[in-house]
Amino acid sequence: MQVALKDYISNYFWSILGKPDSKEVTVEGYDAVLLTSIREQYEQGIGVKLITDARIIQVGYTRALKEWEQSIDKNTKKYLKGEISTPYLFFPLDVVGTWILGEKCASGEVKLEECLKVLKDYNDDVLTVFRPHHKTDVKKVRRILDSIGYENYVISYLHPLILMKNAMFTLTYSPSSLLVEAHMNGCTTVEYADYDVRYNRHSYEKPIHFGCVDYFICRDKEHLRQVVDKLVYNGNNVKKKPKEFEEGIPILSSKEIKCRFSWL
């Protein structure tokens, strides 16, 4: 069986590849297309029409399944009581160099350094928990941390859901899908961004994961400082909707998911 998976980030790649005016996504030759949201919401989110001969299955937000939540809750205290203490901010790492060949924007290394130079001033008051992506050059990250003189941090490989659920906020320097996860789990999200100029024209300078980013900062270190200062010292006043009320993204039970795959 072949299953197609599509996400909102595809428009960014189209822009870099010189096809920002594409109005359709064609998915053919698959048995099914799995979507978290409803088809209309997917199409609206990336501004295109989905053309497919496959059946479309909306699986909803699978990370909110009762069994998964129980597993996370069961293991959270066991893992957090060791190397990680509160309060802390969750900082997922991404590619340190260029994300996509041909990008016209700052590299991941530049954005990471700019974030760290701001966050360094808060080392005495909040722990930073970094979690590498499988494409992250960790040795290079350590060299950057040493060169800046960054302190009070740990590099953890715990499941990101465990880390974001207990963090003061989640900060990224890339449009990571973890921003969606953090948002759906009630954690405040901050994205320090510098998108390719061609995509910015296409997206009207909105975040790729629109609706999931509480503070979208377009490479402005002073703005980042103001946001971090507010979140660390003045309390977090970002109010999240309960997951149950996320429009178009249902939380299904195991029984409902099995029912949707009963055709297999």
The answer to whether the predicted template modeling score (pTM) of the entire model surpasses 0.85 is no
Q: Please indicate, yes or no, whether residues 15 and 48 belong to a single structural domain of this protein.
A: yes
Q: Please indicate, yes or no, whether residues 28 and 122 belong to a single structural domain of this protein.
A: no
Is the pLDDT reported for residue 15 higher than 90? no
Average pLDDT, whole number, for the chain? 84
Q: Please indicate, yes or no, whether residues 235 and 157 belong to a single structural domain of this protein.
A: yes
pLDDT the model gives residue 11: 61
Q: Please indicate, yes or no, whether residues 145 and 52 belong to a single structural domain of this protein.
A: no
Is the pLDDT reported for residue 241 higher than 70? no
Q: Please indicate, yes or no, whether residues 84 and 167 belong to a single structural domain of this protein.
A: yes
**For 57-69, how does the pLDDT look when each residue is reduced to its tens digit (9 = 90+)?**
988 877 777 888 8
Q: Which of 85-94, 175-184, 190-199, 244-253 is the least confident region?
A: 244-253
**Count of structural domains, the chain:** 2
Is the pLDDT reported for residue 246 higher than 70? no
- What is the number of residues in the chain? 264
Calpha distance 136→8 (Å, rounded): 22
Q: Please indicate, yes or no, whether residues 238 and 256 belong to a single structural domain of this protein.
A: no
Whether 67 is covered by a domain: the verdict is no
Is the pLDDT reported for residue 105 higher than 50? yes
Residue 162: Cβ within 10 Å count: 21
Average the pLDDT over 5-33 and give the result: 68
Is the pLDDT reported for residue 21 higher than 70? no
Is the pLDDT reported for residue 245 higher than 60? no
Q: Which of 14-18, 129-133, 232-236 is the least confident region?
A: 14-18
Whether 159 is covered by a domain: the verdict is yes
- Assign residue 142 the CATH number of its domain: 3.40.50.2000
Average the pLDDT over 3-28 and give the result: 61
Residue 165: Cβ within 10 Å count: 19
Average the pLDDT over 233-262 and give the result: 76
Q: Please indicate, yes or no, whether residues 191 and 170 belong to a single structural domain of this protein.
A: yes
What is the band of 30 on the pLDDT scale with cuts at 50, 70, 90?
very high
Q: Where in the sequence is the domain holding 39, given as residue range(s)?
A: 3-61+248-260
225: left (phi over 0), alpha (psi -120 to 50) or beta: alpha
pLDDT the model gives residue 16: 58
Q: Please indicate, yes or no, whether residues 164 and 239 belong to a single structural domain of this protein.
A: yes
**Position with higher pLDDT, 45 vs 34:** 34
Whether 66 is covered by a domain: the verdict is no
219: left (phi over 0), alpha (psi -120 to 50) or beta: left
